[in-house]
A and B are shown apart, each in its own frame.
Chain A
Amino acid sequence: MSIGKDEVIHIARLAELAVSEQELPKLAEQLGRIVSFVEELNQAPAEETAPAYLAGPATTPLRPDEVNPVPLSRSPAEIAPAFVDGFFVVPRLGAMEEA
C-alpha cells in the first residue's frame, strides 16, 4: 500500500499537524511502509474472526453522583500559555468561525 502526498496532507489536516513541503516525500514513504507492514494482518486466515478484544473490566464502574473533584495544586492561570480575566485565550476562530 502506498500513501500519496495528498493523502498525507489530508491526514495531517485531520490531525492538525503542520507538515512542510520538504518533509512530505519522506513522510509519505515512511507512512506507506508502516501501513504496508500493518497490512500483514490481511494474511491472517479469513475464517479466523473473533469479537473485538476488550481490555480491562468487562463493564464500566459508575461513580456515585458526588461533588469531589481532584483538587488542582496550580490554577488554570498558572499553567495556561495565555490567560486573560479568567479565560483561556486563543486566536480568533478564523476558518472555524461560525458565520
Chain B
Amino acid sequence: MTWEIVIGLEVHVQLETRSKMFCGCANTFGAPPNTNVCPVCLGLPGALPVPNAQAVKLGTQAALALGSTIHQRSVFARKNYFYPDLPKGYQISQFDQPLATGGAVEVESPERGRITISITRLHLEEDAGKSLHDRVPGKTAVDLNRAGAPLAEIVSGPDMRSPAEARAYLVALKQILMYARVSECSMEKGSLRVDANMSIRRAGESKLGTKTEVKNMNSFANVERALEAEYQRQVGLVDVGKPVQQVTLLFNAATGTVKPMRSKEESHDYRYFPDPDLPPLVLAPAWINEQRVSLPELPEARRQRMMAGYGLSAYHAQELTLEKALADYFETVVKAKAEPARAVGWVLRDVTAGFHEGGGFPVSAERLAELIGLVKDGVVSDQAARRVYAGMASSSESARGIADQLGLVQVGDSDTLGKWVDEVIAASPGEVARYKGGDAKLIGFFVGQVMKKSGGKADPKKVQPVLIERLGD
C-alpha cells in the first residue's frame, strides 16, 4: 500500500516591535523572570488591552509579502483555555475575521520540483508566558516576561506531501519574512515556532484522513524528523487496521520519536467570541496600499534581479539570497568594483562560512572588493588570497598591506622564477627524463613543485612558460 502524506503547518513568528502587543512593556527577552511585566500582561484585575500600531503594521507587511489579502476589518477574539502561563485565562487572538487570508509561497520540492504552498490565513495574537518544569522540584515555575509579545500566526494549506517539502516551505517562508523585516525568525530563540498537522491517505484519494498535530520541534531539521516519525507511526497504525486518532503529539529530539500528549478532555472547546475590550481593527485601503508599496524587495524578485544584473546562475542567485544579509553584502562588494563572478565565489565560500559561525562580517565588503581586485590583477594568488582574507579578519590593515606582511605577493620576475625552476629540474631527474620522453602531463607536477618551493608565492601563470623553456633546453 502506498500512502500519501498530507501536511499543513501553523507557524508563529514574533513580530519585531519595541513594545508588547497590548501593553507598553518592552518586547525584549533576557530580563530576570517576571520583571518585564505590567497590569495588562500579568492579567491583573481591571487591566485592559490596547493594540500596538507597529504590530499591526508588521503583521500587515508579513501578509502582503506572502501575497495575502488584507481585510479592512478584522476582529480580535478571546480564545478561552486555562494554562498557568496564560494570565487572563484566554488568549487574545483572531478567529473568524482574521487580518489576512489567502496568499502563497513558491517552494522547491525535492520530489516534485517547483510547487506552490497556499497560505490559508495570517492573524495577530499575543504570546503566552513560559512554564518551566525543571526550576523548582516537583512544581511548575511560570515566567510571564514573554506574555503579551506580539505574534503573527501563519497557517498554510494542507499542501505539502513530504516532510522534506515541509522543511522547504519553512525555509522559503522564513526567507520571505526576514526580507520583509517583520521578525528575527529564529527557531533557537523561539521567535519562530512550528506546529504541524499531518494525515495520510491512500495514493489517489481526495478525502483527507484524520489529522494529528505535532508540536515541540525546535529546528527545521527536527520538523522534518518529527514528521517522518509521525508518518511511520500513522502508517504503523493503519497497517494493522487501527484508526488514527485525532491527537496532539510531542516530538522528542533526543530519541527522534513522537508521543501523544495526555489527553485534555475539554481542550478543543475554546469558546471563541469577539473580545469586548477591543473594537474591530479597521484599516484604510490607502494605508494598506502604502504598506504594499513600501515593502522591501522580496527574495524571488531579488533572485531575478541578481541573475539579470550580475549574470549569476540560478543556483548562485538562490544560494546568495537565502540570507538577506549575505545578499546585501554581495551587492556592496560588487558596488565597490569587484567582478560579480569573482565576488560570488568569495561570498558563498569564505564569507558564508564565517557568517554561519556567528561571526557576522569581520571583513567589510569594501575591503573584500580590494582583495578581489588584487587577485584579478595577479598580485596575489587565489590560494594566497584566502590567507590574506583570514589576516584581514583580525586586522584593519589593507589587503595589500597584509599580503606584503605575510609575504604573499606573487613573484613573477623571471630571475627568481628561473632559480626555483632550475632547482626543481635539478632535484627531479627521473621526471625530467620521462617528460623529455614525451610525458607532457608531467608539466603539472613541475608547476606544483615550483609552487611548493616558492611557498605559494610564485605566480602559476608565469611559472609554466619558464618551465617549458628550461625543460626544452
Contacts and interface: CB of A to CB of B under 8 A. Distances in A.
Check whether chain A touches chain B (CB < 8 angstroms). yes
Interface in B30-79: 32-35, 37-40, 42, 47, 50-56, 76
B269 A84 contact: no
Q: Which of B40, B260, B279 has the most CB of A within 10 A?
A: B279
A69 to B, nearest CB: 4
Contact of A63 (B26, B51, B271): B51
Given A85-B135, A87-B136, A95-B262, A58 B276 contact: no
B141 A89 contact: yes
Given A61-B50, A84-B136, A89-B141, A69 B266 contact: no
Contacts of A76: 34, 37, 42, 144
B139 A89 contact: yes
A55 interface: yes
B84 A62 contact: no
B142 interface: yes
A63 B148 CA distance: 14
Contact of B17 (A52, A65, A92): A65
Interface in A1-33: 10, 13-14, 16
B171 interface: no
B136 A88 contact: no
> Helix, strand, loop or mixed for chain B's interface?
loop
B279 A57 contact: yes
Q: Which of B33, B38, B139, B274 has the most CB of A within 10 A?
A: B139
A80 to B, nearest CB: 9
A60 interface: yes
A88 B84 contact: yes
A59 interface: yes
Nearest to B280: A59
Size class of the B contact interface (CB-based, 8 Å): 35 or more
A45 interface: no
A38 interface: no
Interface residues of A, number: 41
Contacts of A65: 17-19, 52-55
Nearest to A10: B266
Interface string B131-147: 11101101111111000
B259 interface: yes
Contacts of A90: 84, 139-140, 142
B222 interface: no
Given A84-B141, A86-B33, A95-B262, A67 B26 contact: yes
Interface of B: 17-19, 23-26, 32-35, 37-40, 42, 47, 50-56, 76, 82-84, 131-133, 135-136, 138-144, 215-216, 250, 252, 259-262, 264-266, 269, 271, 274, 276, 278-282
